[in-house]
Structure 1
Amino acid sequence: MGFVDSETAGKARYAAYVAEQASARAATRAMASPLVRAIPPAVLALMQENHDADELEKQLAACAVQAEQLGNTRYFHGRPPTRQECAEVVETDRCGKPVTRAMQLGKQKHVLALQCAEQVLKALWPAPFSIEQRYRYYPNARMVETVSRKEEARLIAEGCTEELRGTLKPDLVLHGDRNLLKAALTLDFKFPCPDSNRPQWTRYGRSSPYADDLQGSVYEKALGGKALLISPAKGVSPQ
């Protein structure tokens, strides 16, 4: 057995200490981060090799902040809209329902955020993902199916159709493998207006097949995995 001098032994102990501390920091981040906790172990292992898991959360949150700033700049010279401005009715939709400034801004900010998120996911998510994919969910049968872009466009073009009632359209569905009917993680951007409001899941109304249930809860039942919100103020959070 060869002799190990004190300097070499000291370096080995220090290297072991550094590795232990790095592992502890990673574990702490995973405990603190709802996104990292929600990623399946097999996918997380691939991402942790390049430290992509932490970066994914950071960059998706940055997409929300950027979209918020760009959206506010367009209409309010960079300042956030007031509660009164958010409630202002700016137009009516094709069904004759009023569209508030909050709804209009939210839609435009979603477009910006999803463009940003697509680039982030291409760089950092090591498995397939879907953006604004619409699904039909049959709770009693515990079955879900996709609605093609072509069919969705046809139904929307037909106007106030009931055929889209009860369908689900999450912003981002991150898959753990090539099964595109299952989610490892479902993410929705939320842009509260005014920004002092808390980001939260929509609660379905009485006329919905999911009456009184929360949007995130229905996503989880339909697609599996965890559903999380992304907002400018809170980043990635359960609600």
Structure 2
Amino acid sequence: MAGEEALLPGSQALRVAASIGTAGNAALRLLKAAERDAIEEALEACADDARSTVLIALFNGRSPTPEECRSEVSMDAQGRPITLAMKLGTEMHKVALPCAHRHLSELWPGGFRLEPRYRYNPDSGRWEPMREEAVRALLKQGRGSELKGTLVPDVVIHAGLETQILAIYDFKFPCVTPTRPSAWPRYPQGHPHAGQQQDAMYQRALKPKQAPLQITPRLGTLP
């Protein structure tokens, strides 16, 4: 991946980073064009780098075939098959998220979270962010079922408070080389949000100030 100096000119990075100082008082505004563009360029570079890094490590740089993508490579804890496509997506996320953290720490310090988990609170009637310690505690106590139905977007840009969401981005890593935009996935049967499209669920529950967007390698930022 290009160095940060090449990707984000210093003056632009400083301007965008400085803007978070007043963002908390402007929760209802949209991201300014320069802010949005800088964030999205950084996330796109992270997605491209993640795909290249993983494919170089596992396939000598080539893209897997559709048949390889459908092949089963292991099983999860519940005995369900994990395909190569699923494995590659997981590995690419592991590369993209730390990259996103590095860039957003400069571009939008104090105004983002990666993989935050939101849970519906029936008492308040709102979706509320969960602390990572609370999530870990539930899992450690064998109460992971209580997390069913929570929402976990990849990147949340906020205005100083996690409930003041300005933008949501999800990394999407198609197994084969992406050549065209793909629709947001729908939650499967048996899921609390079964049949709902992921972006529509984000929008309805978390109410970001701009529509949720996908970050896809080689294709960039997509609706």
* Aligned twin of 1:230: 215
What stretches of structure 1 move > 3 A for 4+ residues in a row?
Answer: 39-43, 138-142, 154-161, 196-200
TM-superposed deviation, 1:220: 1.1
Q: Any residues of structure 2 matched to 1:74-93 within 5 Å, and which?
A: 74-93=57-76
TM-score normalised according to structure 1 size: 0.73
**One-letter amino acid matched to 1:93:** D
The answer for the alignment partner of 2:195 in structure 1 is 212
Moved more, 63-72 or 191-200: 191-200
Q: CA deviation at 1:181?
A: 1.9
Tell me, yes or no, if structure 1 residue 145 matches structure 2 residue 128.
yes
Question: How far off is 1:194 after superposition?
Answer: 1.7
Tell which structure's C-alpha radius of gyration is larger. Answer: 1
2: CA distance, partners of 1:214 / 1:180 = 23
Alpha carbons of 1:157 and 1:80: their partners in 2 closer, same or farther (altered >3 Å)?
Answer: farther
Residue 153 of structure 1: how far off its partner (Å):
2.1
| Aligned: 1:190 with 2:172 | yes
Judge which range, 201-210 or 158-167, deviates more.
158-167
Whether contact under 8 Å (2:30, 2:166) holds in the other structure is no
CA distance in 2, matches of 1:159, 1:80: 38
Structure-2 separation of matches of 1:204 and 1:146: 20
Give the unaligned 5+ runs of structure 2: 1-26
Give the stretch that moved more between structures: 225-234 or 120-129.
120-129
Partner Cα separation in structure 2 for residue 155 and residue 63 of structure 1: 31
Structure 1 pair 157/75, CA: closer, same or farther in 2 (3 Å)? farther
Match of 1:5 in 2: none
Q: Once the two structures are aligned, what percentage of the paired residues are identical?
A: 37
1:61 aligns with one of 25, 44, 58: 44
> C-alpha separation between the residues in 1 aligned to 2:84 and 2:206?
31
Counterpart-to-counterpart distance in 2, 1:109 and 1:95: 23
Give the aligned residue type for 2:82.
Answer: V
What residue number does 1:14 align with?
none
Q: How far, CA to CA, are the matches of 1:55 and 1:150 in structure 2?
A: 31
Kept in 1: contact 2:178–2:219 (CA 8 A):
no
Deviation at 1:98, TM superposition (A): 1.0
In the alignment, residue 219 of structure 1 is paired with which amino acid?
Y
Match of 1:72 in 2: 55
TM-score normalised by length of structure 2: 0.77
Q: Which deviates more from structure 2 when the two are superposed, residues 150-159 or residues 83-92?
A: 150-159
Q: CA deviation at 1:126?
A: 5.9
Give the distance between the partners of 2:123 and 2:69, measured in 1 at CA.
38
Match of 1:9 in 2: none
Q: Describe the shift of the 1:83–1:156 C-alpha distance in structure 2 as closer, same or farther (beyond 3 A).
A: farther
**Contact 1:137–1:168 under 8 Å retained in 2:** no
- Matched to 2:37, the amino acid is D
Measured after TM superposition, the shift of residue 147 of structure 1 is 2.2
Secondary structure of the corresponding residue to residue 155 of structure 1: helix
Match of 1:110 in 2: 93
CA distance in 2 between counterparts of 1:156 and 1:80 reads 35
Q: How many residues end up aligned between the 2 structures?
A: 194
User: 1:93, 1:99 within 8 Å by CA — same for their partners in 2?
Assistant: yes
Q: Does 1:170 align with 2:153?
A: yes
SS of the equivalent of 1:163 reads helix
Q: Give unmatched runs, 5+ long, in structure 1.
A: 1-38
CA shift, 1:127, in A, is 5.5
